[in-house]
Amino acid sequence: MHSKLLSALLVAGSASVVSAATTCTKDIKVTQPTPIISCDVVDASITVDASVAGGLSIEGPKTITGDLIITNASQLISISSSTLQSIEGNFELSGLDLLSSLNMAALKSLNKLNMQSLRQLSTFTFGTSGVSKASTIVIADTVLTDLSGLNINSVDSLTITNNKRLTAYNSDLANITSLLSVTSNGNNMEINMTKLTTAAEIQLSNVKSFVVPKLKTITESLKFDTNPELTTFTAKNITSIKDSVTFINNNKLTNVSFPLLTSIGDMTIQNNTKMLAVEGFPKLSTVAGGIILRGNFENVELPALKEVDGGCTVLSTTDISAFCGFFNDAHSKKIIKGTESCKSNVKAANEGGSDGDSSTSSSGSGSSGNGTDNAVAALSVNNVLLGVSVIAGMAQLW
């Protein structure tokens, strides 16, 4: 009799434990540092009022299906949770002037993370080994020195910008489906993505190094714009880039190497004043758009080039007449289908504007006899188009 009663009590007790796993279905507004949220799942959003100060502790919920928004709480010093594992909406932290501690010890999964204008936060903790899943991440205008809390394998979009104390990012990312943008962070920013194999759009500025030994495919563009400390870049396994390959205003860059690259959308290499040769594209055969090379080149080699659907413009401050012969020949054989201009000794070769009058033309189209006037007119039109295309290319970087 007693054993039957005990069994009944145990069953009832188990049922009460199961029923304790509750779900809240209405949005919650937090107005105090230690709110009481008595549900495991918040099937709604949580917003923290800007008046909350001191240490915010969110205990109870394991999952938030909506957003967790903490903005403009200028007196908030710390944020913590030992229970929250997943945020399926937007986790936004911004305008928290005094926030110096962020510890979400159980957090493993995010959808969108937006961390902006955090003037005192140098590090953060997400989970025991960092967040492993996220779709969109923006880290901007912070004093963060470490991003090890982001242990993500795949992301749609990752933007890291204007974090002046951040000088390194080591990531296990393997796939970027939309955008990687790392711009205007600490001087000599070093990026190591040793597991990255596939990316879409990559935009980099103020980066000293970008190590991607396994990267094979870029479905959109690769753009290096204004990286003062970048000296070399190697992508030994990339075979195709659908849109643009761009290196502009990288003053210490001496060499780029794409040993397996066979096809690209278009190429712009301009104002990299230490780069004396373009020799890192030995297998490049197909260019869907055009080629613009402007600099202090002494040698340019594209030995496998078979098809350029757009035009080619090559300008150097040095004498590259020997290579201009290659371009002229490629144009005459219809390998280059658009307009072609190759010029030596152009003082303003690194600039995007007019070539000036001090250059020596080595172009083969209309460069002798009665066609001289027509060649000059064509070259002038080509330079206007060049200026427009460079400006448009640079605009895409911002």
Q: Per residue in 363-386, pLDDT tens?
A: 433 332 333 333 333 333 344 333
The pLDDT of residue 354 is above 90 = no
Exposure on the CB side of residue 100, measured as CA atoms within 13 A = 5
Q: Is residue 153 part of a domain?
A: no
Nearest CA among 223, 221, 213 for reference residue 241 = 221
The two tokens of residue 260 are: 């397996």
Q: Pick from 127, 151, 173: which residue ends a domain?
A: 127
- Which residues, at least 6 apart from 166, have a Cβ–Cβ distance to it below 8 Å? 142, 144, 145, 146, 147, 160, 185, 186, 189
Q: Is residue 5 part of a domain?
A: no
- Report the C-alpha gap between 229 and 250 in whole angstroms: 8
Range of the domain at 71: 28-127
H-type alpha helices, the chain? 2-19, 321-332, 372-397
Mean of pLDDT values over 31-41? 95
Work out the pLDDT band at 171, boundaries 50, 70, 90. Answer: very high
How many distinct structural domains can be found in the chain? 2
Q: Pick from 100, 127, 154: which residue ends a domain?
A: 127
**Residue type, position 199, single letter:** A
Q: Is residue 250 part of a domain?
A: no
pLDDT digits (tens, 9 = 90+) for 189-207: 999 999 999 999 999 999 9
Q: Is residue 249 part of a domain?
A: no
- Which residues, at least 6 apart from 327, have a Cβ–Cβ distance to it below 8 Å? 312, 314, 336, 340, 342, 364
Nearest CA among 160, 393, 177 for reference residue 291 = 393
From the centroid of its chain, how far is CA 20? 44
Do 111 and 136 form a contact (C-beta atoms < 8 A)?
yes
Q: Pick from 92, 127, 162: which residue ends a domain?
A: 127
Q: Is residue 41 part of a domain?
A: yes
Q: Is residue 237 part of a domain?
A: no
Do 90 and 67 form a contact (C-beta atoms < 8 A)?
yes
